[in-house]
Amino acid sequence: MKRREFLGGLGAAAAWPLAARGQQHAIPVVAYLDGSGVPRWFEAFQLGMSDLGYVQGRTISIELRDAVGQAKRLPELAAELVALQPKVLVASGSPAAIAARNASATIPIVFTFATDPVGLGLVASLARPGGNVTGQSNQGEGLVGKRLQLLAEMVPGASRFAAVWAPSFAASQADLREMQAAAVALGLVLDSLEVTRPEDLDAAFRQAAANSHGVVVLSGPLIFTNRDLVVAAAARHKVPAIYYDEEYSEPGGLVSYGPSLSDLHRSAAVFVDKILKGAHPNDLPVEQPTRFKLVVNMRAANSLGFTMPQTLLVRADAVIE
């Protein structure tokens, strides 16, 4: 089902009195809180539910609330979804997961992905979540350091790099510490360039261009929501950069390395299915990714006048020509 058709269906459903809707069908309601503004992630989740045999409007009712990238709306939308008393509340990304957890301590919550779910207070531990929340992390062991290693490979002989990040996202603080430790192990110098608002991005990349040989961009709500500005600043100052997600490569980011977030949204349906069949979130360990995608944007490389090492190209999972 296409997003436009699905949203149209939601509009019609919203007009029904809740009691009447209950009489119309006794199918389970799954709430979906979208804080990302990336339509294909919701579509991937729908596909995951379809893979498991669920049919929208017949065997399940998926209720969507979309903040369209405006994080401040998430608490209000989470409250709307909780009022529907869904069997499961699915949260797309860390901010949505936090809003969902704050809205209910009883409704089972599945986050499609979250960065450092323990550090964010979403779960007590990965193995034993300890409450009504579980899901998937987009972090794997050594992944943060691997990005820095790949950046060093992209710029052979360079020894000084920078991390552009937003301290407002607690998980990025943990990522920065891990990356600084990786820099020491690799014999590299890593500068910290903080941004607190979108207007800071240009100055951060200007500083990176003057003092370092490349940038690792740490993702987070502020950075991700403004990824077009991030990519444009890197191109403007001709700074080779590596990003966390392929969503940065598509608008012109040079290289990205990490799990496919679309795949994580699709596989989140497995958690929902288990809960609908009687499982409790505390019995479902948080899963970490085991597959990572390396995306190289050759259009960006050519625009930067950057020569991509052949050793990187042959390992790429996708090359944007």
Is the predicted pLDDT of residue 32 greater than 80, yes or no? yes
Gap between the Cα atoms of 10 and 8, Å rounded:
5
Lowest mean pLDDT among 21-35, 54-68, 77-91, 293-307: 21-35
What integer pLDDT is reported at residue 5 of this predicted model? Answer: 43
Contacts of residue 8, Cβ cutoff 8 Å, sequence gap at least 6: none
What integer pLDDT is reported at residue 71 of this predicted model? Answer: 87
Start-end of H helices in 110-189: 143-154, 170-186
Is the predicted pLDDT of residue 25 greater than 60, yes or no? no
Element holding 55 (H helix, E strand): none
Task: Check residues 35 and 239 and name the one with the higher pLDDT.
Answer: 239
Neighbours of 192 (CB within 10 A): 13
pTM for this prediction: 0.89
Residues in the chain: 321
Are 241 and 234 contacting, i.e. CB atoms less than 8 angstroms apart? Answer: yes
What integer pLDDT is reported at residue 145 of this predicted model? Answer: 95
Q: Which of 143, 97, 154, 128 is nearest to 298 (CA)?
A: 154
Distance of alpha carbon 234 from the chain centroid: 21
One fold for 3-139+261-283 and 143-258+293-320: yes
Question: What are the residue boundaries of the structural domains of the chain, listed by start?
Answer: 3-139+261-283, 143-258+293-320
Residue 266 DSSP SS3: helix
Pairing of strands 189-194, 133-137: unpaired
Q: Which of 286, 294, 241 is nearest to 264 (CA)?
A: 286
What integer pLDDT is reported at residue 6 of this predicted model? Answer: 44
- What are 209-225's pLDDT values in tens digits? 999 999 999 989 999 99
Q: Which of 295, 297, 271 is nearest to 283 (CA)?
A: 271
The CATH number of the structural domain formed by 143-258+293-320 is 3.40.50.2300
Element holding 302 (H helix, E strand): helix 298-304
Q: Which of 209, 208, 213, 219 is nearest to 246 (CA)?
A: 219
Average pLDDT over residues 219-234: 94
DSSP 110-128: EEEEESSTTTTTS-S-SS-
Q: Which of 105, 104, 107, 130 is nearest to 118 (CA)?
A: 130
Residue 13 — very low, low, confident or very high, per pLDDT cuts 50/70/90? very low
Q: Which of 67, 58, 27, 64 is nearest to 45 (CA)?
A: 64
Distance of alpha carbon 157 from the chain centroid: 32
The CATH number of the structural domain formed by 3-139+261-283 is 3.40.50.2300
